[in-house]
A and B are shown apart, each in its own frame.
Chain A
Amino acid sequence: MKAAFFFITMSFGFLISCGESNQKDIEKSMVDSNTESQTFVRATSEGTMSAGYFTYTNSLSEPDTLFSVSSKVARMTESHETYTTADGLSGMREVKEIPVAAGDSIQFKPGGLHIMFMRLTQDLAHGDSVEVELSLKKAGKVNVTLPVQ
């Protein structure tokens, strides 16, 4: 009888473990599995859009604000962020000013803040590089060069 009880108990345990969902709880973080570096501009063709990613560190001893970005590779260049709308859709919107504390950084990264290159004036191919001019209220003009991947 004890053996029967043991077998039934084990059976139910086994059934429960086998019924576990094949969907896992997903940690909500963007995963771009094909970009090794977080400093790059996406390769794409003329006339379309691309995004640039890098980290800007405010090396001043006072707070600063990024208020404009520009690049010759696009007719329009803006700071954008990817966000989730109230009804759960993935959206994108312009961020006109980005404050950064002294010694702190602004991270442009996939799925978050990014430099938005709109209506590209040229193809962006692997191996190319893109110059971006950042305008900050205190630091002034800062140029960054990003590789195309």
Chain B
Amino acid sequence: MKKLILLFLPVLLLSCGPDVKVIDDLNDKSFTLVNQENQPFTFPDDFKGQYVVLGFIYTHCPDVCPIITNNLKKMQEEMGFPSDVHFAEITFDPDRDTPEVLKAYKEIYKLNENFTFLTGQPEIISETMDSLRVRSQVSMSTTTEEGKELYFVNHSDKIMVLDKDSRVVLEYGGSMTPISYIIEDLNKIRL
């Protein structure tokens, strides 16, 4: 009997640690992007050592994307602005979402220094999104009276969490998930 208990005990102890399932390992990826301050940012390397709650938006999206941004903002607030968790959003509309536009967007939402927006060269953004399995496509395009192109984008609606080693470990619907679920899951895996 004692031998049986000794045999099972280590298994039990090991099995009930943080339940981390790696969805994607981004360690072999490296994308040169820029942040809202127009400073170079290497994704995901520059986030290493922090958990990252990551959303995907474009600033000309007035409905779903602001919901995602608000969800990340509220998560940060409800978690008490944790220093080990960074919040970030990458645009899939780099032509319009320049660093200046993203900076203005960040100011409107009153987000702090632990919240980063990323954009970049269209082909690099496209590669970044592919690696994260985030899809987007122009859905409607028209030309305004002033000759300006106006378009909308169909896109993945997603929030994901990267661990400190740049591994995607959690993934959710971005606008449709109660943030309490994400916070609870994230707190389970934070070491």
Choose the segment among B63-71, B83-91, B116-124 that binds chain A (4+ C-beta atoms closer than 8 Å). B63-71
CB pair A19 B15 closer than 8 Å: yes
Say yes or no: is B189 at the interface (Cβ < 8 Å to chain A).
yes
Nearest Cβ on chain A to B124's Cβ, whole angstroms? 21
Cα distance, A114 to B20, chains bound together (Å): 38
CB pair A82 B64 closer than 8 Å: yes
Chain B residues near A45 (CB, 8 Å)?
A: 104, 108
CB pair B108 A15 closer than 8 Å: no
CB pair B189 A90 closer than 8 Å: no
CB pair A49 B62 closer than 8 Å: yes
Choose the segment among A29-37, A57-65, A98-106, A136-144 that binds chain B (4+ C-beta atoms closer than 8 Å). A29-37
CB pair B11 A15 closer than 8 Å: yes
A31-B71 CB under 8 A given contacts A8-B8, A22-B185, A42-B62:
yes
Chain A residues near B1 (CB, 8 Å)?
A: 3-4, 7
CB pair A30 B15 closer than 8 Å: no
Cα distance, A27 to B178, chains bound together (Å): 9
Nearest Cβ on chain B to A74's Cβ, whole angstroms? 10
Residue on B nearest A26 in the bound complex, by CB:
B177
Residue of A19, A26, A27, A43 touching B108 (CB-CB under 8 A)? A43
Chain A residues near B156 (CB, 8 Å)?
A: 88-90
A33-B179 CB under 8 A given contacts A18-B15, A93-B140:
yes
Nearest Cβ on chain A to B77's Cβ, whole angstroms? 9
CB pair A89 B137 closer than 8 Å: yes
Cα distance, A90 to B170, chains bound together (Å): 20
Cα distance, A4 to B21, chains bound together (Å): 32
Residue on B nearest A51 in the bound complex, by CB:
B62
Chain A residues near B64 (CB, 8 Å)?
A: 30, 82, 90, 92, 111
Residues from 61 to 106 in B contacting A, C-beta threshold 8 Å: 61-64, 66-67, 70-71, 73-75, 104-105
Nearest Cβ on chain A to B116's Cβ, whole angstroms? 18
CB pair A85 B4 closer than 8 Å: no
Residues from 148 to 182 in B contacting A, C-beta threshold 8 Å: 150, 152, 154-157, 170-173, 175-179, 181
CB pair A33 B70 closer than 8 Å: yes
CB pair A20 B19 closer than 8 Å: yes
**A-B pairs with beta carbons under 8 Å apart, 30 shown:** A15-B12, A18-B19, A23-B172, A26-B181, A30-B67, A30-B175, A31-B176, A31-B179, A33-B179, A34-B74, A35-B70, A44-B108, A49-B60, A49-B62, A75-B144, A85-B154, A89-B137, A89-B154, A90-B64, A90-B154, A90-B175, A91-B152, A92-B152, A93-B139, A110-B63, A110-B175, A114-B62, A116-B62, A117-B62, A119-B144
10 nearest A-B residue pairs (beta carbon): A34-B70, A51-B62, A33-B74, A91-B154, A89-B154, A90-B157, A18-B16, A49-B62, A32-B67, A22-B185
